[in-house]
């Protein structure tokens, strides 16, 4: 059976009634299972994760867009997380019975339906990108909502109507491989340390100024890893916030260990971590293998404890690990 996953990032994390309404919109579609939702007050963002038959998933995503476009107003939105639209980004991930190319066709179907019904302006990214640079979400979102519509003079939307940006901003849609959003907590209140670690770890690294005024980019230590440093008021925590875009290259374990190393070099300590949304069981099996290689208890619960995933809120593997949810 074909199973498609959808992970829309909605720019609403503070109004419980509205968050619940969006949940009900998704759940109103048969053959769709809401796997997880994660709201952040400071980020002012809710990430919904649902999966099911592809046609049903597209219907749920379309209804969610319609609801968000009716109820949200980006002209008054403020949050710590980068954003430029009411549904900031809507990735589609092939979980079973299909490849990335087929998932990208479903992404295009969703964008075409949105264009026809509400004219939402948007960009294609990842597998649907119209150019190599547009594959990168950070490139498309640079300047955020406040850069619109000046951005459109150089970066025309791939679909929709550019002049309909004011209330709901612009969205990004595309098929991609499974991505894990993962934050590592530090024992410092100095956010500059988190930003320094982010530049040292992420693949894109940082720009270095040469004496002659030119600049060059120094790559970070982990490929297929994106990162920023920030302070989360919800938990009074400074975090390095990661997107792990190719788990076969670098996943949760590699990122956690590298962050521990970088933190130690800056005289601070990793206190735990946080999984935003879901992750595959294979990521925890890797941690178990690491523990076993170091002659430590290697159960799933030990792996969870090693990563400190319960520091900010209880971690229930039955609700956070994809295979355990989709039994």
Q: What is the pLDDT of residue 226?
A: 94
Q: What is the pLDDT of residue 267?
A: 97
Q: What is the pLDDT of residue 215?
A: 84
- Placement of tokens 């939702």 in the chain: 37
Q: Residues 277, 146: one domain?
A: no
Q: What is the pLDDT of residue 209?
A: 82
- CA gap 59, 38 in Å, rounded: 21
Q: What is the pLDDT of residue 101?
A: 96
Reply yes or no: is the peptide bond before residue 25 cis, omega within 30 of 0: no
Distance linking the first and last C-alpha atoms of the chain = 14
Classify 75 in phi/psi space as left (phi over 0), alpha (psi -120 to 50) or beta. Answer: alpha
pLDDT per position as a tens digit, 270-287: 999 999 889 999 999 999
Give pTM, 2 decimals.
Answer: 0.76
Final residue belonging to a domain, choices 118, 144, 175 = 175
| Chain Cα centroid distance, residue 290 | 26
Q: What is the pLDDT of residue 222?
A: 98
CATH code of 269's domain: 3.30.70.670
Of 84, 10, 77, nearest to 47 (Cα)? 10
Q: Residues 282, 153: one domain?
A: no
Q: Is 294 a catalytic residue?
A: no
Catalytic residue among 71, 81, 294, 313: 81
Q: Residues 33, 157: one domain?
A: yes
Q: Residues 125, 219: one domain?
A: no
Which residues, given as ranges, of the chain have pLDDT below 70? Answer: none
Q: What is the pLDDT of residue 1?
A: 85
Of 134, 107, 113, nearest to 123 (Cα)? 134
- CA gap 39, 167 in Å, rounded: 22
Residue-number span of the structural domain to which 94 is assigned: 3-175
Q: What is the pLDDT of residue 216?
A: 84
Q: Residues 7, 150: one domain?
A: yes
Final residue belonging to a domain, choices 132, 151, 175 = 175
Q: What is the pLDDT of residue 326?
A: 79
- CA gap 107, 227 in Å, rounded: 26
- Classified as helix, coil or strand, 83 is coil
* Number of compact structural domains in the chain: 2
């Amino acid at each position: 059976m074909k199973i498609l996953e959808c992970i829309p990032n909605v720019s609403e994390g503070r109004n419980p009634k509205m968050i619940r309404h969006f949940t009900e919109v998704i759940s109103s579609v048969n053959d769709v299972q809401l796997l997880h939702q994660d709201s952040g007050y400071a980020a002012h963002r809710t990430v919904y994760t649902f999966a099911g038959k592809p046609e049903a998933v597209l219907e749920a995503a379309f209804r969610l867009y319609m609801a968000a476009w009716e109820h949200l107003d980006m002209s008054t939105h403020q949050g710590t997380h980068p954003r430029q639209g009411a549904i900031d980004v809507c990735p589609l991930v092939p979980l079973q019975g299909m490849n990335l190319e087929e998932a990208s066709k479903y992404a295009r179907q969703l964008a075409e339906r949105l264009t026809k019904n509400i004219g939402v302006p948007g960009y294609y990214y990842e597998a649907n990108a119209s150019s190599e640079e547009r594959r990168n979400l950070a490139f498309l979102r640079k300047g955020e909502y406040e850069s619109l519509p000046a951005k459109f003079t150089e970066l025309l939307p791939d679909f929709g109507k550019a002049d309909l940006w004011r209330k709901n901003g612009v969205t990004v849609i595309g098929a991609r491989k499974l991505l894990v959003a993962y934050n590592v907590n530090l024992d410092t209140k100095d956010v500059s340390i988190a930003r320094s670690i982010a530049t040292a770890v992420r693949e894109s690294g940082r720009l270095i100024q040469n004496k002659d005024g030119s600049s060059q980019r120094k790559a970070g230590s982990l490929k297929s890893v994106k990162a920023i440093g920030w302070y989360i008021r919800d938990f009074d925590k400074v975090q390095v916030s990661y997107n792990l875009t190719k788990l076969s290259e670098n996943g949760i374990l590699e990122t956690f260990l590298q962050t521990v190393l970088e933190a130690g070099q800056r005289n601070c300590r990793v206190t735990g971590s946080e999984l935003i949304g879901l992750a595959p069981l294979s990521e925890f099996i890797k941690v178990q293998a690491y523990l076993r290689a170091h002659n430590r208890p290697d159960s799933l619960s030990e792996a969870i404890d090693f990563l400190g995933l319960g520091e900010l809120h209880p971690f229930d593997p039955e609700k956070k690990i994809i295979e355990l949810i989709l039994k």
